Amino acid sequence: ETGVTQTPRHLVMGMTNKKSLKCEQHLGHNAMYWYKQSAKKPLELMFVYSLEERVENNSVPSRFSPECPNSSHLFLHLHTLQPEDSALYLCASSREVAGANVLTFGAGSRLTVL
């Protein structure tokens, strides 16, 4: 248990489905992130919420939609996904240590798009 909880841990969905990934942290961190981890690719930052302000990677398709209702909860809404979106989606929260943001990751949600 890292302090960052992600649900579900595994998700299989069709291309026409709508689903959501959930992330929760009770570490008192004030920034939360969604990362995508695919085979043979570096971790890709998708979205950052810091003090409830959103920063996004402009290359993320609009079929991914984040929501951050408060500093402890983060969602990733998924709709009309493609098979290439199959990946491990990691949520993280951060605190600053010696001037550097240190991430605490959840265990991830393994997504398979059929």
Partner 1 sequence: TQLLEQSPQFLSIQEGENLTVYCNSSSVFSSLQWYRQEPGEGPVLLVTVVTGGEVKKLKRLTFQFGDARKDSSLHITAAQPGDTGLYLCAGATRWGAGNMLTFGGGTRLMVKP
Residues between 46 and 65 that touch partner 1 (CB under 8 A): 48, 50, 55
Residues between 20 and 39 that touch partner 1 (CB under 8 A): 31
Q: What is the enclosing helix (H) or strand (E) of 54?
A: strand 53-56
Tokens in use for 70?
């408060």
- Complex with partner 1: residue 16 or 99, whichever CB lies closer: 99
Which residue in the set 32, 94, 111, 113 belongs to the binding site for partner 1 (CB under 8 A)? 94
Tokens in use for 62?
């609009």
Q: Are 88 and 81 in contact (CB under 8 A)?
A: no
d(CA 22, CA 6): 6
Q: Is the dihedral of CA 62, 64, 70, 72 positive or negative?
A: negative
Binding mask 64-93 for partner 1 (x = CB under 8 A): --------------------------x-x-
Which residue in the set 12, 15, 102, 114 belongs to the binding site for partner 1 (CB under 8 A)? 102
Per DSSP bridges, beta strands 10-13 and 109-113 are parallel
Smallest gap from residue 18 Cβ to partner 1 (A): 25
User: What does the binding site for partner 1 look like in residue numbers (CB under 8 A)?
Assistant: 2, 4, 31, 40-43, 45, 48, 50, 55, 90, 92, 94, 96-108
